[in-house]
Structure 1
């Protein structure tokens, strides 16, 4: 699928943290820098050193345009690529809360459009992206999107755009929940008498290690939890608090994820 990019070119609109992570992955996969055109008003020194076409005239019909600008900047940025709509150039957006319908209004309903939701672990090649397309997006388009997004992690397909707000709330915003867990766990360690630096080291390593174990183990998360919980032991005492049906993690995370999903729906209106 990447031969399509090599032959016709790729346009990256916006090259911040997520765009840079993706570009680094594409170049590592063998996409020639000469096939990549980047529009970025504030390029980093790293971007300038990659050999890509930077803020230069765009190809007439690139294989794909990846929209990697923040939603609030979309209105100002899209006019730079609007002339590429209406043909078989695929538009792939990673902007949260911006619907396919809004892009169809800009580029035309005949334009193939795919909406994706990646997350920040893409910066270390451990992200996960969910994708869904409009009726004009072909199987080949979806495969191309998967090939490009897989440079920074896993890719899953959704049943439709109606699932995107839930995905945003779980995996898009989810890394922030985990980072806050690290903060809270370290603070709890301090409250029990640990020095701040040591508490943070223990919390960070514990969460990262448990995540890697969950990733590599064939067992479910529930079973992994059971494996480290001795009846009547210290872990069981803590889990009695964390798993409380009214005040524990489950109802708290349901409320948090719902709040994020509701906000995503508001942004999409």
Structure 2
């Protein structure tokens, strides 16, 4: 597959920040053949996260400006608290003025208005799109949402959706919903990992070997999710179909309800959403 033709002229992609989320997106782009390693540039201030990128065969550097100069699409993939420092480094390490760049922010809580204001100081005609992906993008099972800035084009949206769809589903939404969507899909894998670990612990408590328990718990969660997506049935209906009168499952459900599992998971999404809003206000 010719990466440049597939991306309709957008031949090079950069990542300012080399951590887990950048690796997940970059890995998906490489795995599906949408981009070649030679068309990816990655910057990181240290060697801590560079190992996987070097293994991929991508260009790596410590200078953010090098990434911006050589890329058509630049993912801002650092932690939100490092945004200002990363932009200063871009400005200080640019060898020449640049234009016609699309910046894609992965920064939780930082609104488009703030991103545009800060980025335009360095690249006045930059277009900006804000994305909330999740790490299962790496294995083709991600869930990503995005919102476009004031100058982002329809083509920009198509390119971002194409890239993120290589790792799962991707949908454009209103920015007013992006913190809440991130509190669900962006943070949600961590909630599910905790649930898988707890289910495994329960099986171990009842005598099942750990490796077997974790495998069974993981497959059970995967299967339940596929049932919801592929049957189109409401989760409550699918739950009822498993709960026989006086049976084992309804007893387990009762235990979960007594533990407040629904309320706790709702509060987790709410807490993550509020924290994202707080991060945005700090900017």
TM-score calculated relative to the size of structure 1: 0.85
Partner of 1:213: 227
| Offset from partner CA, 1:116-166 (integer Å, 9 cap, x none) | 01112112121110100111111111111111111221101112x211111
Checking the alignment, whether the CA contact within 8 Å between 2:15 and 2:67 is kept in structure 1 is no
| Offset from partner CA, 1:12-67 (integer Å, 9 cap, x none) | 21222221222222233242333322213325344224343322745647421111
Instruction: Name the stretch that deviates more: 219-228 or 135-144.
Output: 219-228
Aligned length: 264
Partner of 1:35: 39
Matches within 5 A, 1:94-109: 94-108=106-120
SS of 2:166 mapped into structure 1: helix
Instruction: Name the stretch that deviates more: 68-77 or 124-133.
Output: 68-77
Deviation at 1:206, TM superposition (A): 2.1
Change (3 A) 1:166 1:187: same
Q: Find the aligned partners of 1:163 and 1:71 in 2 and give their Cα distance.
A: 19
Q: Does 1:255 align with 2:255?
A: no
- 5+ long unaligned stretches in structure 2: 1-5
Instruction: Name the stretch that deviates more: 188-197 or 123-132.
Output: 188-197
Partner of 2:60: 54
Instruction: Name the stretch that deviates more: 197-206 or 72-81.
Output: 197-206
Q: Find the aligned partners of 1:80 and 1:185 in 2 and give their Cα distance.
A: 45
Q: Find the aligned partners of 1:100 and 1:211 in 2 and give their Cα distance.
A: 32
| Offset from partner CA, 1:233-260 (integer Å, 9 cap, x none) | 221222234346xx63332222222111
Checking the alignment, whether the CA contact within 8 Å between 2:140 and 2:167 is kept in structure 1 is yes
Instruction: Name the stretch that deviates more: 26-35 or 249-258.
Output: 26-35
Q: Once superposed, what is the RMSD of the aligned Cα atoms?
A: 2.7
Q: Does 1:11 align with 2:14?
A: yes
Deviation at 1:173, TM superposition (A): 0.9
Change (3 A) 1:66 1:183: same
Q: Find the aligned partners of 2:114 and 2:242 in 1 and give their Cα distance.
A: 48
- 5+ long unaligned stretches in structure 1: none
Q: Find the aligned partners of 1:173 and 1:200 in 2 and give their Cα distance.
A: 21
Partner of 1:156: 171
Partner of 1:26: 29
Q: Does 1:130 align with 2:149?
A: no
1:140 to 155, 167, 181: 155
TM-score calculated relative to the size of structure 2: 0.81
Partner of 1:63: 72
Instruction: Name the stretch that deviates more: 137-146 or 208-217.
Output: 208-217
SS of 1:178 mapped into structure 2: helix
Partner of 1:73: 82
Q: Find the aligned partners of 1:24 and 1:201 in 2 and give their Cα distance.
A: 24
| Offset from partner CA, 1:150-196 (integer Å, 9 cap, x none) | 1221101112x211111121111111111111222233334445555
Q: Does 1:240 align with 2:254?
A: yes
SS of 2:42 mapped into structure 1: strand
Q: Find the aligned partners of 1:67 and 1:249 in 2 and give their Cα distance.
A: 35
